[in-house]
Structures are given as C-alpha cells and as structure tokens.
C-alpha cells in the first residue's frame, strides 16, 4: 500500500486510473441492461457536471447539497464538487420535508442538486431563507409538470461544457453529513480528503488485495458514511468496478455474486437475514463464487449465527463485520486474511486508537464491558456549531461513542449494547428523543416515551408509549408521526395511557 505521505487522495487515484485504464469499467448498473460506464467516461461525466456547476457560478468553498439516490449522477456530481473545490453536503434523499428542513437549515448550502420529484417535494425548503440560492434539477422532463421557479434550473437547459477536475491540495472538507446522538436534533459532521482516503487504505490492509479486475457489489446508500467510504471511495481509489443495483432484494443473491465474479460486498444485517430466509428455500447446487469473495456486514450488530448461516448457504466464508460511526468512518474491521474471531467486530485499522473504559473513565481489563472511546485522524474533532454536544461527546481528544463493548485477550472488539438514546432500525439511525418530541406535538399528548426491545431474532423493534387525555387514539398518534418522520422511525406499536383525573382534597 502506498503511504499517504505522498498526499495523494482518492480523487488523485481515480484520475490516474482514468488515464492508465481508461476502458476499464468503473460502474456497471444491474438495473439497466448493458449500462456500463468506463473510468474514462466517468471522468468525462464528472467534468460535464463540473461544467454545470461552473455555469451556475459555484465557487471554491461553496456548499453544494446532493439530494440524489444511488447512481452515476450521484457519483459524478460528488467527484465534480470536490474537483471544483466546493464542499459536498450529502443528504438522505428519503427524508420527509420536516426532516429535510431540519438539516438544510443547519447546513445552508448555496446549491442543491436533486431530481424533479424531490425538488417538488422539498421546494419550500430549497429556498434562500435556508441559504439555498439555487437548485439544479436533474432529468427533468422537457415539459415539467409545473414550471420551475426562477431559483431552479433544469440540467437540460444548461450549456454542455466540460471543465477539468482540480485535484485537491492539502486536506479539505469533502463530506458534510448528519447524525443523531439522542439529543433530539441532527448534528453536522465534516470529513476531510486525506482522512477519508486513509480510512479506505486502513481497511484495505485487512482485506484480500483489491484492484483493477475486482468487482464490488454496491447496495448500501451512498449518502451514509459507510456507503460513501466503503462502497464508492474505496473501489474508485483502487480501480475496481462498482456493480450497482437498487433492486437486490428482487434478485437471487447467489446468481449476482457468481455471474459477476464479485470480490467484495457489504450488506446490512436485515438484508442478510432476508437472504438467509430466501436461500434456505433455494434449490440446486451451490454456484461457483470468486475464491476470495469477502462479504462484510455493517450499519448495526449482526449475530454470529446469522453471519455463519449466509456463508453456509452461499458456500463461502462467513460474513465478517466492521464498525464505524458517521463521526469516524469505518475504524474497526474483522480481517479477511487473518484468523476469524467469531462474533467480533474486529480490531482497529491503522491510525486508530481505542480504549474501553468504565463509568469513571478507567480502562477495563479484557473480558470486561465498558464504553468504547476512539481517536485518530479519521475521527472528527467535533460537530459543526454544536458546543453542548461537543462538550458531552468529545473529551481529552477522545470520541465517547456511547457503545458498550468488550475485548478479548487478542484485542478483538465485541459489541454489547448502545447506552445512548439512539438505536439502529433497518440500519438507519433513530433518535428516541426526536420521536418523543414529535409525539408531544399532539395537543392531547402530555408525556411520551420511545424505547427499543429486540425481538427473538435480535432485531431492534421500536415502541412508543404516550400518556394523554381527551379521545387520544393510536391512529391519531400514528398519523402525526407519519407526517413528520421517515418510515423507519415509526414505532411498531403505540401504547396509549389515559390521564387519570386528579383527586382534589375537599
């Protein structure tokens, strides 16, 4: 592996591959027949996107929000924003208008790049009052359902021009994303160019060697740091092919892995459970897979038996795990080239330090449970403009993760539970305080308590208990929550407790 002493980041490497291996496939889209993009074509596409940004007067240092699903456009515009010296603000395109408003009002991007459908959904937020001077609307129909306002432009109306990508100097911010920490509001996180590259390199040192000819199955959302770093930055910085699909759940996983000779895949635990159920019913012989196929799990904890089951059903090694946060990028990983420690998340990658401490901040012995603390160049110094949160979670140079873990005698880290008022539902972060605050918007709700109970498969299930008066019903609370929150944040059960009348002494 090349040391980062050369100050060569992932965009430098991508441009290098576009020159050395111009006809090598960078992206293969499974959802569109014969839809491939070579490294040369992806660079040209990124330069065209840079030309569009230039036409809209995007300047170095400007914040540009990407509100897009996985696809070539997302990747090309991300590369273009960095190659222009601007700052990508990467947002979950599935957010409700309420949720989108909360992050846009914090980030205040100058430009939003999105689709016509998403622009219509969030048009009240993509406005100058929230810092958005303009919106670039991609793939808009020649005659949109309603005319675009003056502060929005369809990409088809811009002159087709290319501008070269400028390679970053130093260690600029190349990602602003949002997370939750149980305080009821989103927190902005910034990651830097060389740090993101170093995280990718540190992971690679624990993997079977990847490069030109490797195929990476991309199923994770690129708006999350796990997907961005492992599923886009990593493969593009080693010359691999991104095999992209948004329809994996409708496909035969074994056929996809076999037919395309996949060498690397990341799946979240819910998807692994889903395919374990489907593959159990699959008939026929095991299909030939790449001899060094690596399947990793991230996003939330995966029980060891589920990891081993998928390996048996596919005829490959068990699923390995990694660990990271929006605040840190992936920093702990189980090695695919070393001895597997059953159920472990792995060991810290190069450049990461960790501690496991008790309630008084003292290091605990192997086998003892404590809170995980981490630090390193890929761990942020603090949230953007959030002094209270920084004082709580960043102390003496360490990020206090809120995750309770233990280590074995070899230093492998094992997950125990999360002690903050957050949890992962379908690999998405859920802030219990946020859910309670929305429930309290109902005029008849006096108290609300959200809580998590794992089911018999160790899957986190969200429940909500509300106390209120009047004719408060589950339906009314559910309707209110649906109006504000994304689907994965909606509780599976809602319990209503009626207020008891106060007894007054005579």
Higher pLDDT, 33 or 480: 480
Q: What is the CATH number of the domain that holds 77?
A: 3.40.50.980
User: pLDDT tens for residues 421-460?
Assistant: 999 888 889 999 999 999 999 999 999 999 998 887 778 8
Q: Which of 319, 318, 283, 280 is nearest to 299 (CA)?
A: 319
Confidence class for position 33, pLDDT limits 50, 70, 90: confident
Q: What's the maximum distance between 2 C-alpha atoms anywhere in the chain? A: 90
Domain contains 377:
yes
| Contact predicate 491/462, CB 8 Å | yes
Among 112-116, 295-299, 477-481, where is mean pLDDT lowest? 295-299
Task: Please state, for a pLDDT cut of 90, what percent of the chain lies above it.
Answer: 89
Q: Which domain holds residue 77?
A: 8-189
Mean pLDDT of 317-341: 94
412, 440: one domain? no
Q: Say how far apart CA 391 and CA 115 lie, in whole Å.
A: 38
- The pLDDT assigned to 504 comes to 44
State residue 506's pLDDT score.
Answer: 39
Q: Does residue 466 belong to any structural domain of this protein?
A: yes
pLDDT at 123 over 80: yes
350 burial (CB, 10 Å; 0-12 / 13-18 / 19+) is: middle
CATH at residue 327: 3.40.50.12780
Q: Are residues 332 and 414 in the same domain?
A: yes
Looking at residue 30, what is its pLDDT? Answer: 94
Residue 247 clears pLDDT 60, i.e. is over it: yes
- pLDDT score for 142: 58
pLDDT of 1 higher than 90 = no
For the chain, the domain total comes to 3
Mean pLDDT across the stretch 299-315?
A: 94
**Residue pointed to by tokens 């602003």:** 176
Per-residue pLDDT at 500: 67
> Same structural domain for residues 19 and 99?
yes
pLDDT of 4: 40
Averaged pLDDT for residues 193-213: 96
Q: Is the pLDDT of residue 6 over 80?
A: no
Rounded Cα distance between 451 and 476, Å, is 19
pLDDT in tens, 138-163: 986 655 567 899 999 999 999 989 99
Residue 414 lies in a domain: yes
Beta bridge partners of 407: 413
pLDDT score recorded for residue 426 = 81
Burial of 68 (0-12, 13-18, 19+ CB in 10 A): buried
Does residue 2 sit within a domain?
no
- Indicate whether 15 pLDDT > 70: yes
Mark which of 418, 435, 453 sits at the end of a domain.
418
Residue 2 has pLDDT above 60, yes or no: no
So what's the pLDDT on residue 455? 80
Yes or no: say if 243 and 257 are a contact pair by the CB < 8 Å rule.
no
* 226 within some domain: no
pTM over 0.85: yes
The domain boundary, picked from 173, 189, 205, lies at 189
More confident residue, 257 or 506: 257
* Pair 258, 386 in one domain: yes
Residues 456 and 409 in one domain: no
Tens-place pLDDT, residues 380-419: 999 999 999 999 999 999 999 999 999 999 999 999 999 9
365 lies in the same domain as 411: yes
pLDDT for residue 143: 59
239 in a domain, yes or no? no
Is 388 strand, coil or helix?
A: helix
Q: Show Cβ contacts of residue 437 under 8 Å, excluding neighbours closer than 6 positions.
A: 184, 448
Residue 474 maps to which CATH number? 3.30.300.30
Give the residue-averaged pLDDT of 375-379.
Answer: 96
pLDDT on residue 3: 37
The average confidence (pLDDT) of the chain is 94
């Amino acid at each position: 592996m090349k040391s980062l002493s050369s100050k060569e980041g992932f965009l430098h490497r991508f441009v290098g591959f576009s020159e050395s291996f111009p006809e090598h496939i960078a992206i293969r889209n499974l959802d569109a027949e014969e839809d491939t993009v070579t490294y040369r074509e992806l660079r040209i596409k990124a330069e065209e996107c840079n030309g569009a940004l230039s036409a809209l007067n995007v300047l170095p240092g400007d914040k540009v929000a990407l509100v897009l699903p996985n696809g070539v456009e997302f990747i090309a515009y991300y590369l273009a924003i960095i190659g222009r010296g601007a700052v990508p603000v990467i947002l979950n395109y599935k957010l409700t208008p309420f949720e989108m408003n909360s992050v846009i009002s914090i980030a205040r991007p100058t430009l939003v790049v999105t689709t016509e459908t998403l622009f219509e959904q969030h048009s009240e937020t993509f406005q100058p009052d929230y810092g958005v001077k303009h919106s670039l609307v991609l793939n808009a129909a020649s005659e949109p359902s309603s005319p675009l306002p003056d502060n929005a432009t369809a990409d088809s109306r811009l002159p087709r021009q290319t501008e070269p990508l400028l390679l970053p100097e130093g260690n600029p911010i190349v990602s602003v994303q949002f997370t939750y920490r149980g305080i009821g509001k989103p927190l902005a996180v910034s990651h830097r160019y060389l740090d993101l590259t170093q995280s990718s390199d540190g992971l690679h040192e624990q993997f079977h060697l990847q490069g030109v000819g490797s195929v990476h199955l991309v199923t994770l959302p690129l708006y999350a740091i796990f997907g961005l770093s492992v599923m886009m930055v990593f493969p593009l910085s080693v010359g691999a092919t991104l095999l992209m699909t948004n329809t994996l759940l409708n496909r035969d996983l074994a056929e996809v892995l076999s037919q395309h000779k996949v060498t690397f895949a990341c799946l979240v635990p819910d998807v692994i459970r889903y395919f374990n159920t489907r593959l159990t019913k699959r008939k026929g012989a095991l299909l030939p897979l790449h001899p060094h196929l690596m399947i990793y799990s991230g996003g939330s904890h995966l029980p060891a038996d589920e990891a081993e089951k998928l390996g048996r059903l596919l005829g490959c090694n068990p699923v390995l795990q990694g660990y990271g946060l929006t605040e840190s990028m992936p920093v702990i990983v189980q090695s695919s080239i070393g001895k597997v420690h059953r159920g472990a998340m792995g060991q810290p990658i190069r450049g990461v330090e960790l501690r496991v401490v008790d309630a008084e901040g003292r290091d605990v012995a192997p086998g003892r449970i404590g809170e995980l603390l981490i630090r390193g160049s890929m761990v942020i110094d603090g949230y953007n403009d959030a002094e209270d949160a920084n004082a709580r979670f960043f102390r003496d140079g360490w990020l206090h993760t809120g995750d309770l873990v233990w280590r074995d005698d070899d230093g492998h880290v094992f997950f125990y539970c999360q002690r903050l008022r957050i949890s992962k539902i379908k690999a998405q972060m859920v802030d219990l305080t946020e859910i309670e605050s929305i429930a309290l918007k109902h005029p008849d709700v006096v108290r609300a308590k959200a809580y998590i109970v794992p089911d018999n498969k160790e899957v986190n299930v969200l429940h909500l208990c509300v106390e209120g008066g009047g004719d408060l019903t589950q339906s009314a609370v559910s309707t209110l929550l649906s109006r504000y929150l994304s689907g994965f944040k909606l509780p599976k059960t809602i319990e209503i407790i009626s207020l008891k009348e106060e007894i007054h002494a005579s």
